[in-house]
Amino acid sequence: MLDLQYLCDNLEAVRENCENRGVKINLDDLVALRDQRRELIMKGDQLRSEQKETSGKIPKASAEDKPALIARGKELRAEVAEIEQQQKEVDLKLREVQNQIPNMTHPDSPVGRSEEDSVTVREVGEKPSFDFKPKDHVDIAESLDLIDLEAGSKVAGHGFYFLKNEAVLLELALVQFAIEKLRAEGFTVMTTPDLARDDILEGIGFNPRGEESQIYSVENTDLNLVGTAEITLGGMKKDEVIDLENLPIKVAGISHCFRTEAGAHGRATRGIYRVHQFTKVEIFGFTAPDLELSNEFHQMILRIEEEFFQALNIPYRVLDIATGDMGGPAYRKYDLEAWMPGRGENGEYGEVTSCSNCTDYQSRRLNIRCKQPGTKGTQFVHTLNGTAVAVTRALIALLENNQQADGSVKIPEVLQKWVGIDLIKPGS
RNA sequence: GGAGAGAUGGCUGAGAGGCCGAAAGCGCCGGAUUGCUAAUCCGGUAAGGGUCGAAAGACUCUUCACGGGUUCGAAUCCCGUUCUCUCCGCCA
């Protein structure tokens, strides 16, 4: 959510930004509602002021003056209630409009409506060349007995899976490797709740209930299965005031991610590329409200994400995501796409991680502020998030890039200490 | 799941219908003083909305977990909710 005052003071810039982001919105409504709100506040203030004054006189008033004052007090109470009701309604409408307006955008983000408009920043690593037809992860997993998709469908439906044997060890190894790396980078690591309340989801920018929601919600409660630990890691500081000297806060969390994938039917449904549940290690940061600092933090997250895939020896490219494709809260967003030799005809890149600088868009709604000792007031912190590793996608890249002609798969060296072997062989 | 206790400013913690946006302490800021990794003294110090103002600021309203209610008037009384703590039960 953006600041109301800011929105009204920068209508043209906001209008252009909405245009670039592909968000249709009537900003005139916003201004009209803001004006209504202002009038109601002024009227209400005036009435409450008189109300205070009236009731304040009563203890000292003479017996003959009292009844009139009390009667006036009753009148005022009714008038105040009326105004407050109107203001509540206006505030609600205002909030609705405000929530649809996306964050402002980094000046360097490529302008465009779709994925194709994103810009490749760099390609890193050498794509493996095979002297055989590389298999996709489903076929590899089949011959090595690593994933049971049918069992997943049986117990929970399409989009669920069982990892088996070395795939289990690989999941744990990927998580451990990520955690080890993040601790070395100074992050406080944690495991997080897999459920969160509606208001936390909304604060982060998710729409927990509704037709096209990506979120599984639990009936008869205000709880939802989280789509990412970004929700819980960001939500953990809700309503807090943080001393400036304690920023930045660097946290990372292991969680499961649950996504309904509503509207994604028919898109890359094979295997474990698009699933309803996966394990992820998420990076999250709270910084001072200073673009220089949060942009720097953003670059650090990107660096960590890249180093992770470099260490696994998986080729990838970095995309600077176009305005129309980055979602409401982000000010700037990068994706890492790993090379997946089994995708498409001759291999394709597939998204494995992303990272966003959300500036104060999330913190405003979550009410996460910071305070500098000795200064008046508070400011909303900047929040950032990124994926250290999303296990299923990383697993796809790992299996497909490291497959051998004999059907075996090499384990990247950095993971071997956890997996315990250097090669997954058929029938082993 | 059952019983009880609680939720007050950045933190600790008083307050028990009007004199309370709220004592005191800590912390923080400014100053004085002595000098020596500090002590003492004095003063200041909540957040948010709105109006006016170029700004500094002035004025005003809201906020004592949240939502209702009683009342001319609620941190204070009543009801509901959430959360925390203690005890009991159950349980990995």
Residue A107: inside a domain, yes or no?
Answer: no
Low-confidence stretches of chain A (pLDDT < 50) are: none
Would you say the C-beta of A372 is within 7 Å of strand B?
A: no
Query: How many domains would you assign to chain A?
Result: 2
> Could you give the residue numbers annotated as active site of A?
259, 274, 351, 354, 393
DSSP designation for A374:
T
Residue A68: CB atoms within 10 A of its CB come to 11
User: Does A256 share its domain with A397?
Assistant: yes
> Is ipTM strictly over 0.90?
no
Indicate the residue among A73, A100, A127 that finishes a domain.
A100
DSSP designation for A217:
B
User: Does A32 share its domain with A90?
Assistant: yes
Q: How far apart are CA A63 and CA A217, in angstroms?
A: 60
User: Does A36 share its domain with A139?
Assistant: no
User: Does A330 share its domain with A224?
Assistant: yes
Residue A82: inside a domain, yes or no?
Answer: yes
Q: Say what the pLDDT of residue A428 is.
A: 67
Q: Say what the pLDDT of residue A232 is.
A: 93
User: Does A210 share its domain with A292?
Assistant: yes
Contact A182, A281 (CB under 8 A): yes
Residue A38: inside a domain, yes or no?
Answer: yes
* H or E element that contains A242: strand A241-243
User: Does A341 share its domain with A392?
Assistant: yes
User: Does A15 share its domain with A129?
Assistant: no
User: Does A120 share its domain with A221?
Assistant: yes
* A375 CA, B42 C1': Å apart: 22
Contact A119, A320 (CB under 8 A): yes
User: Does A67 share its domain with A178?
Assistant: no
Q: Say what the pLDDT of residue A370 is.
A: 87
Would you say the C-beta of A193 is within 7 Å of strand B?
A: no
User: Does A318 share its domain with A408?
Assistant: yes
Q: Say what the pLDDT of residue A198 is.
A: 87
Contact A286, A368 (CB under 8 A): yes
pLDDT tens digits, A76-116: 999 999 999 999 999 989 988 999 999 999 999 999 988 88
Residue A342: inside a domain, yes or no?
Answer: yes
Contact A153, A216 (CB under 8 A): no
Residue A105: inside a domain, yes or no?
Answer: no
* A373 CA, B25 C1': Å apart: 19
* A72 CA, B72 C1': Å apart: 8
Residue A110: inside a domain, yes or no?
Answer: no
Residue A108: inside a domain, yes or no?
Answer: no
Residue A106: inside a domain, yes or no?
Answer: no
Contact A171, A395 (CB under 8 A): yes
Indicate the residue among A100, A123, A150 that finishes a domain.
A100
Would you say the C-beta of A371 is within 7 Å of strand B?
A: yes
Give the domain range for residue A36: 4-100
* A269 CA, B4 C1': Å apart: 54
Find the CATH number of the domain harbouring A69. 1.10.287.40
Single out the residue of A35, A10, A158, A13 nearest to residue A94, CA to CA: A35
Q: Say what the pLDDT of residue A375 is.
A: 72
Would you say the C-beta of A311 is within 7 Å of strand B?
A: no
H-helix segments, A189-285: 198-204, 229-235
Residue with tokens 């790992």: A398
Q: Say what the pLDDT of residue A265 is.
A: 65
User: Does A121 share its domain with A78?
Assistant: no
Indicate the residue among A68, A100, A132 that finishes a domain.
A100
Q: Say what the pLDDT of residue A186 is.
A: 94
User: Does A138 share its domain with A262?
Assistant: yes
Find the CATH number of the domain harbouring A227. 3.30.930.10
Would you say the C-beta of A32 is within 7 Å of strand B?
A: no
